[in-house]
Amino acid sequence: MSKTYVNGLESMKIENPNVIPEGYSLHNSIDPFEYALARIEGKWKMKIIYTLANTEVMRYGELKRAVVPITHKMLSAQLKELERDGIVRRVEYPQIPPRVEYSLSPKGDDMISIFKEMWIWGHKYKDQA
């Protein structure tokens, strides 16, 4: 990668042709990489997806205990965004007390390979920090 400057800000120029699949360009009107990043941006979304990827179904309380120290407000907001984006499936059962379960949707399941690669990368380099 080489550094270029646009409007005084540093940006990276990708020179590795293996990063972008053949037939695609960085200059598409909607960059698929930016689209994917926008779905998982923020401190908690990747942790939530990773947690759900390691279980079939989780109730809200289980998820909150697993993604520590997330607040109720933040977990609720992040789950709503992930559901809106089609990554998380929410099933509400009409009973008292209410029961809500969360799982990855097929779109969310498609992200698991990305998380596996990140885990492998982290495992390889975590002791070099």
Element (DSSP H or E) covering residue 45 = helix 45-53
CA distance 56 to 7: 47
pLDDT of res. 7:
40
Per-residue pLDDT tens over the stretch 98-120: 899 999 999 999 999 999 999 99
Count up the domains in the chain and report the number.
1
For residues 2-30, average pLDDT: 53
Q: Does any domain span residue 21?
A: no
Per-residue pLDDT tens over the stretch 43-100: 999 999 999 999 989 999 999 999 999 999 999 999 999 999 999 999 999 999 889 9
Which one is predicted more confidently, 12 or 34? Answer: 34
User: Which residue is associated with the tokens 């984006």?
Assistant: 85
Q: Does any domain span residue 31?
A: no
CB neighbours of 18 closer than 8 A, spacing ≥ 6?
none
State the number of CA atoms in the 13 A half-sphere of 44 facing the CB: 19
Q: Does any domain span residue 64?
A: yes
Q: Does any domain span residue 7?
A: no
Q: Does any domain span residue 79?
A: yes
pLDDT of res. 22:
67
pLDDT of res. 33:
85
Q: Are strands 58-59 and 99-104 parallel, antiparallel or unpaired?
A: antiparallel
Q: Does any domain span residue 121?
A: yes
Which one is predicted more confidently, 14 or 34? Answer: 34
Q: Does any domain span residue 61?
A: yes
Range of the domain at 110: 44-129
Report the CATH number at residue 109: 1.10.10.10
User: Is it the case that residue 19 has pLDDT exceeding 90?
Assistant: no
Q: Does any domain span residue 4?
A: no
